[in-house]
Structure 1
Amino acid sequence: MADPLSASALLDALRAEGVTVVEVGTWRTHNRNHKGAWGPVHGVMIHHTVTQGTDRTVQICRDGYASLPGPLCHGVIAKDGRVHLVGHGRANHAGLGDPDVLDAVIAERLLPADDQATVDGNARFYGFECENLGDGEDPWPDAQLTAIERVSAALCRAHGWNQRSVIGHLEWQPGKIDPRGFTMDAMRSRIGARLAAKAPSAGTKPVVVLSKLVAAAKKNPAAKGTPVTYAGVRTVEAALVAEGLLAYAYNDGHFGTSTVAAYARWQRRCGYSGRDADGIPGRASLARLAARHGFDVTS
């Protein structure tokens, strides 16, 4: 149980966890607070949107419908891993849910079956809608799953919660199926592993040494296994994952062929072509990646 984070504190927490944030309009003051309380908050709820296309999804989640006004969540997690903040305060995302589930979330223990709908979840949970058709066929890219993990971990860190404070809509309200396509138990395992790692240090940024990164990019593809030849590789790979250019499985500290190919795609996104998009980092392209993902670059 906690007071909700301020808009600025929420933004800082997400960025500190490595989330790529897009601020949508007047999100800081867009809410349904006139309809009821916002807080105390007890956890994070994950949904899927049953929509396709990021722009349309963000617009729907911000504005809502005639029968259900927006915001429909606090943030939209797009397939490319970007998190579009659309509201801050009470949002129409959770609806009525099971009081026994709420008690379990507060106690951070295993969830019971949800068979009641009597407690207002809109007052008690942060809500994140994930761009997905929810048909069990629409894929969940690694960048999107990583963003769900990071968003959840960021809020858990900020409030001193563990991974059991993160639930799916299907675990809260009878009859709901979202999110469909991955299990919340698997996602909570990922969140728990992230929380077990060292928390981000306030006011500090990772530093990537360009010369060491270039040496790794030239040496690693021919190396056997997945040696971590330079720790800064992980920082760059995490940024490429967040950009949707590298599969999560390859965020391993080895600047191998998959990472070279991903970095080449980043270079092309920056406007380079031909030999200038060969997957070997250059200062300008690396600086652009660093600016977007919160690390510094030195020679």
Structure 2
Amino acid sequence: MKTHATHYTVVKGDTLSAIAARFGTTVERLVEWNHIADRDRIPIGLDLLVAEPNPSESYVPFPGAGFFTSTQDHRIIMSMGIRLVQEDCSAWLPPEGPTSLWTKTARESYAMWQRKLGYRGSDADGIPGLASWTKLKVPYFNNEGD
């Protein structure tokens, strides 16, 4: 089991009901938080948001590099994208802007952030790491605005 702050990575044999019970939540919340289309099939390796963010925390904790996959669709990515635009690190072309999808453009934008921080070579590959994520200070979405 791999966990961090409010996330859990699915392993073989997991079910949403077992994960919900383990983290004291409901299947319905897991489905809502993670935009799960088929609650009977959750892929191994999927990084799930399993707990509501702690309201005393100001920023989203690093969800782990494995969170950023080509199939990821999560509001954390939208919040990250908005921060990247604010930092003038945006590969999105107008009128396009950040979405909740982890795309090539999102990765290119994050790579711009890494280069702004002074990272070079493979350290500026566009995949978030703990240090660069912490410096970006990605805010939580509030329930009214997402």
Larger Rg: 1
Higher share of residues assigned helix: 1
Scaled by the length of structure 1, the TM-score of the pair is 0.25
